């Protein structure tokens, strides 16, 4: 896997072999460690590009820290997904929500227009059309596009396209793939993994909205054993675990919507993290579904990939995949 350093306008400068950690789907950033002895080999200026061609691994340099005690320089920045995370979809003046209609890729083109110059481009492939899709108020661009695609059974695919004159980041809506029957991670696969079955998650969320004291809007949300969220309580006594969600100035509808999303992150769930050294063994995107099974604990998960981390250390490349939590 070749990591390339390029100028701010995309002209290739060389291959980078320093230790690096690229996070996609969680913190959406990267950190590369450069020794003082190797620092003069390249110019790691802010605004320069780093990328693996044809993949999502890459981003823009935006932070350089020199640590004389460790004799290293840390080069950090946002990944392409991280740059999308730093843009907000704002409702038009006088309207409660931003809505959009059309082919998914055309909608992506509209959403990124004027935000990234020529660095980001939407795919011109025809997908499916949506009608009056309503975004969450003031959501990030990456969350908005991701949820828009998911509403039609698609996923957001990000890849750096290298050209003779430079390159650009392509955003494409592509059908979500279900590999659960084809790709199953277990002891048989000889991959390193961590399985976690959390059974003590929150199942009662007290949501506080607008108002003061006794006049404040209060909504109680509950999760059942299957992870369904409603306003009907199913756990009591020792089995009930409660948390307060403070969303000041929210009306009841927004309080229920955002409280539900918050509770979905706090309920009991099983998670699966896979680490592999052979990066060609698992060619899947964020949003694709695979399965995992731990024979020892009996934990079984079949969920979309939510998080990927590429690590290169002393020339050894590994990729970690984390599945969304299964309730």
Query: What residue ranges do the domains of the chain occupy?
Result: 3-83, 87-175, 184-198+269-323, 204-266
Instruction: Walk across the sheet containing 120-122 and list its strands.
Output: 120-122, 167-175, 154-162
Domain 87-175 belongs to what topology?
Phage tail protein beta-alpha-beta fold (3.55.50)
% of residues, the chain, pLDDT over 90: 63
Nearest alpha carbon to residue 272 among 297, 296, 300, 295: 300
Question: Which pLDDT does position 309 carry in this prediction?
Answer: 86
Question: Which pLDDT does position 266 carry in this prediction?
Answer: 86
Task: Find the largest Cα–Cα distance for the chain.
Answer: 66
Average pLDDT, the chain: 88
Query: Is 219 a residue whose pLDDT tops 70?
Result: yes
Average pLDDT over every residue of 36-63 = 93
Provide the 10 A C-beta neighbour count for residue 141: 23
Question: Which pLDDT does position 327 carry in this prediction?
Answer: 43
């Amino acid at each position: 896997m070749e990591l390339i350093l390029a100028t701010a306008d995309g002209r290739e400068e060389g291959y980078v072999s320093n230790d690096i950690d690229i996070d996609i789907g969680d913190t959406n950033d990267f950190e590369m460690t450069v020794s003082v002895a190797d620092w003069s080999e390249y110019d790691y200026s802010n605004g320069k590009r780093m990328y693996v061609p044809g993949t999502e691994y890459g981003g823009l340099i935006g932070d350089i820290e020199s640590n004389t005690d460790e004799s290293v320089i840390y080069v950090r920045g946002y990944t392409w997904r991280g740059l999308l995370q730093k843009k907000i979809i704002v409702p038009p003046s006088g309207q409660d929500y931003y809505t959009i209609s059309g082919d998914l890729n055309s909608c992506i083109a509209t959403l990124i227009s004027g935000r990234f110059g020529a660095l980001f481009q939407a795919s011109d492939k025809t997908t499916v059309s949506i009608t009056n899709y309503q975004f969450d108020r003031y959501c990030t661009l990456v969350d908005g596009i991701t949820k828009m695609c998911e509403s039609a059974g698609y996923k957001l695919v990000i890849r750096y396209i290298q050209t003779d004159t430079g390159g650009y980041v392509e955003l494409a809506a592509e059908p979500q793939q279900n590999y659960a029957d084809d790709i199953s991670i277990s002891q048989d696969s000889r991959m390193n993994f961590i399985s976690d079955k959390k059974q003590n998650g929150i199942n009662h969320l007290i949501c506080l909205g607008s108002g003061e004291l006794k006049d404040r809007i209060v909504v109680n949300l509950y999760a059942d054993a299957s992870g369904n969220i409603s306003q009907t309580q199913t756990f009591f006594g020792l089995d009930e675990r409660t948390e307060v969600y403070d969303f000041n100035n929210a009306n009841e509808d927004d309080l229920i919507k955002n409280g539900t999303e918050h509770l979905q992150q706090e309920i009991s769930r099983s998670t699966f993290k896979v680490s592999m050294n052979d990066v060609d063994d698992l060619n899947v995107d964020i949003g694709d579904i695979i399965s995992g099974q731990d024979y020892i604990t009996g934990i079984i998960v079949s969920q979309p990939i939510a998080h990927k981390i590429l690590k290169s250390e002393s020339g050894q490349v590994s990729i970690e995949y984390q599945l969304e939590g299964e309730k």
